[in-house]
A and B are shown apart, each in its own frame.
Chain A
């Protein structure tokens, strides 16, 4: 993280999102919305006095999934990069009620800006790498049998990560969210939302088998006299040193039980899991103090909209569509836009890093040339036929068609006049052919797929 922030060739723009992209490979114009931070980061020295002095301290910290508290002016987490604070405008009493103003008074560099607003900036770039990541499957909406989220001690794998992390709300002690007691028996349920056509997604999320093995191992090594039960459909450890790691969890005493959990319900301060052991062929009831769900990876919120904004396609699950599943895993169908990480599909850290380096090489390869070759099979306009109706303009998904005025000499009793025609930007046109059916005068043709060529194919088949 720090290496990224310190690199002289990298400009970081955080709290920002891409709102508009125009142009084409080698020549994109990207409009970015920089959200208001209410702190001038050029002046701020990151001392943290404002964070210490902010009186609005009891806001549930989203970073810790509400298991910890934070003030209104805060960093995302203490080691944030850049290490500068920003104000949460929904909870700051100065911004909501015009009371307080303490952070402005205590700031030694005068960096607080209560009148800060969102800003739009436009950047010119030649290539775009998509790395928007994933979100955790919202199991509370789908799994009624696990309590729809109403039992505080049924948590997701990412919440468990916060509990076990030294920088988390419990300083790394595994404690139950409900009463802060140390759980002794922890159950792990895999494939919550993954490999489940009825309630979730049909795909395997690929990383859960391994992080669940890690969680079970951490329970066994961190909590004395503990039990870690892992309920699984299959154990998939296809990766270098993965099977060995799984064996390490088993050797530490993790108990793997092959079966789905059909119901969780409370009994006293315990949770009861109704399940089965399909290898033994028997029904089971297991008592646990805490349950951890290995939830599926789903595309990040807003990813599909972003794909539309930039102009490339997504697959049936909303992950970004690669140009070829085996041979072009980092390219999209839109030239100059590349994919890295879980935005393309569920994967773990080693695969993410490998794909990111692959995307980087594609970008560098492109940048090694001074000029790029464009697609030859693009649309063309026969201006003698074009009526300038403009029906093709909104249909083009790449914004390659615009209306232009041309001058005509006139004749047959008419003087010179101007009229509208459609014009194709051949750099933007990807040759998809979507504009052709819209053209009522057949003025549009796709080079390499002309009407004449297509009719000749049909004739060859049918006549």
Chain B
């Protein structure tokens, strides 16, 4: 497999850029083995940011992508889609967290920038060993179970049922209604709870 890594360093407005010198991190990334392209941008998750990734994949013939930004919990799917939009397998991508695990928890700009470089170096080392992965599909049983028959359970059950799906509502007491049935009038409208 070809080793052509692109590194994209996000500033997240000032969330990252105030503590990490993102331009320096991008320049550093260019010196890493396998990296052929690196840049920084204000909001990598934005439409222009994603377009930057897609365009670079095509123009630079990138085979692997590293995005140094926030937690994968936040934007892993976003960037995986962007990478696929550029024409390579979405799993030829690594996300490096330089926000939650770096800029948000450090003050010293020099040290934080050095840590971001370390994290990017690790990400690049990993992505060079990534393999394209395939997703598979499973069937769906279009019937829902709601556990608990209070206000929340009744509302959820009614909404799903109204959409035309079967719902089983399981309640531990002998009646649905939950705590609501014990209430008198309810704020702020003072209408009855039943």
Is there a chain A Cβ closer than 8 Å to B3's Cβ? no
* B-chain residues with CB within 8 Å of residue A63 when the two chains form the complex: 182
With both chains docked as a complex, state the minimum distance between the C-beta of A231 and any C-beta of chain B, in angstroms: 19
- Of A183-191, A269-277, A280-288, A370-378, the one touching chain B: A370-378
Complex Cα gap A211–B126 (Å): 55
With both chains docked as a complex, state the minimum distance between the C-beta of B118 and any C-beta of chain A, in angstroms: 6
Contact of B129 among A128, A352, A427, A453 (CB under 8 A): A453
- Of A74-82, A106-114, A257-265, A405-413, the one touching chain B: A74-82
What are 18 A-to-B residue pairs whose CB atoms are below 8 Å?
Answer: A9-B160, A12-B169, A17-B172, A27-B138, A126-B142, A131-B150, A132-B147, A132-B148, A133-B148, A172-B184, A214-B190, A240-B188, A340-B155, A364-B160, A374-B136, A374-B137, A452-B129, A460-B125
Is there a chain A Cβ closer than 8 Å to B1's Cβ? no
Interface hits, A1-52 → B, CB 8 Å: 1, 3-5, 7-18, 24-28, 30, 32, 37
Closest chain A residue to B152, Cβ basis: A341
With both chains docked as a complex, state the minimum distance between the C-beta of A375 and any C-beta of chain B, in angstroms: 8
Closest chain A residue to B151, Cβ basis: A352
- Of B14-22, B42-50, B54-62, B173-181, the one touching chain A: B173-181
Q: Are A372 and B138 in contact (CB under 8 A)?
A: yes
Known: A15-B174, A133-B179. A124 touches B137 (CB 8 A): no
Complex Cα gap A43–B152 (Å): 30
Is there a chain B Cβ closer than 8 Å to A394's Cβ? no
* B-chain residues with CB within 8 Å of residue A158 when the two chains form the complex: 179, 182
* B-chain residues with CB within 8 Å of residue A14 when the two chains form the complex: 149, 171, 173-176
Complex Cα gap A7–B141 (Å): 20
Complex Cα gap A30–B178 (Å): 22
Is there a chain A Cβ closer than 8 Å to B5's Cβ? no
Q: Are A166 and B184 in contact (CB under 8 A)?
A: yes
Contact with A along B21-50 (1 / 0, CB 8 A): 000000000000000000000000000000
Contact of B194 among A79, A341, A456 (CB under 8 A): A79
Q: Are A457 and B155 in contact (CB under 8 A)?
A: no
Is there a chain B Cβ closer than 8 Å to A165's Cβ? yes
Is there a chain B Cβ closer than 8 Å to A175's Cβ? no
Is there a chain A Cβ closer than 8 Å to B156's Cβ? yes
Q: Are B151 and A460 in contact (CB under 8 A)?
A: no
Residues of A in contact, count (CB < 8 Å): 111
Contact with B along A98-130 (1 / 0, CB 8 A): 000000000000000000000000011111111
* B-chain residues with CB within 8 Å of residue A426 when the two chains form the complex: 136
Q: Are A374 and B155 in contact (CB under 8 A)?
A: no
Q: Are B161 and A165 in contact (CB under 8 A)?
A: no
Q: Are A24 and B138 in contact (CB under 8 A)?
A: yes
* A-chain residues with CB within 8 Å of residue B121 when the two chains form the complex: 460-461
* B-chain residues with CB within 8 Å of residue A453 when the two chains form the complex: 126, 129-130
Q: Are A456 and B125 in contact (CB under 8 A)?
A: yes
Q: Are A32 and B170 in contact (CB under 8 A)?
A: yes
Is there a chain A Cβ closer than 8 Å to B12's Cβ? no
Complex Cα gap A349–B152 (Å): 9
- Of A142-150, A241-249, A384-392, A395-403, the one touching chain B: A241-249
Give 10 new A-B contacts, CB below 8 A, not counting A26-B141, A460-B126: A1-B175, A9-B165, A15-B172, A28-B141, A76-B173, A131-B156, A132-B147, A364-B160, A373-B137, A461-B122
With both chains docked as a complex, state the minimum distance between the C-beta of B181 and any C-beta of chain A, in angstroms: 6
* A-chain residues with CB within 8 Å of residue B139 when the two chains form the complex: 26-27, 370-372
* B-chain residues with CB within 8 Å of residue A290 when the two chains form the complex: none
Closest chain B residue to A26, Cβ basis: B140
Q: Are A456 and B129 in contact (CB under 8 A)?
A: yes
Known: A131-B146, A376-B133, A453-B130. A356 touches B156 (CB 8 A): yes
* A-chain residues with CB within 8 Å of residue B134 when the two chains form the complex: 376
Closest chain B residue to A378, Cβ basis: B133
Q: Are A13 and B174 in contact (CB under 8 A)?
A: no
Complex Cα gap A32–B143 (Å): 16
Complex Cα gap A123–B146 (Å): 12
With both chains docked as a complex, state the minimum distance between the C-beta of A74 and any C-beta of chain B, in angstroms: 9
Complex Cα gap A46–B190 (Å): 30
Is there a chain A Cβ closer than 8 Å to B128's Cβ? yes
Closest chain A residue to B33, Cβ basis: A460
Closest chain B residue to A163, Cβ basis: B184
